[in-house]
Structure 1
């Protein structure tokens, strides 16, 4: 995502916190191979989405998970 590459991931664990479905990448149910195949075909048929979603992914990660953002969140925790 930081390299302007969108992600296709399962919607388990922390993935939904990092990937905004249909904005910064694509999520699918674990073990749903048909949904994964559908997502891949959709991307192959709409290649401009790779650039658009990649840029969105970079912006999302930069704004929400940068070192500066993490430091600010830790500082807020310590101030409590």
Structure 2
């Protein structure tokens, strides 16, 4: 998003209800904090989830592209 587009959106946001403006401000603070912090560091719980997902992938527990394609074709409206 360009600076111009961001400025335009912020002008529209000025007319939003106060609760929506507060939510947007909180999101902006979170983004800013993330940028200032540098590289993202996952939590121990997130690392466990990543490890489980990788183990499932190695064990072949995910549907193949062909499996997904067949289900979509079977259930797609004519």
TM-score (norm 1): 0.29
**Greater helix content:** 2
Which structure is richer in relative contact order (CA contacts within 8 A, separation 6 or more)?
Answer: 1
**Greater strand content:** 1
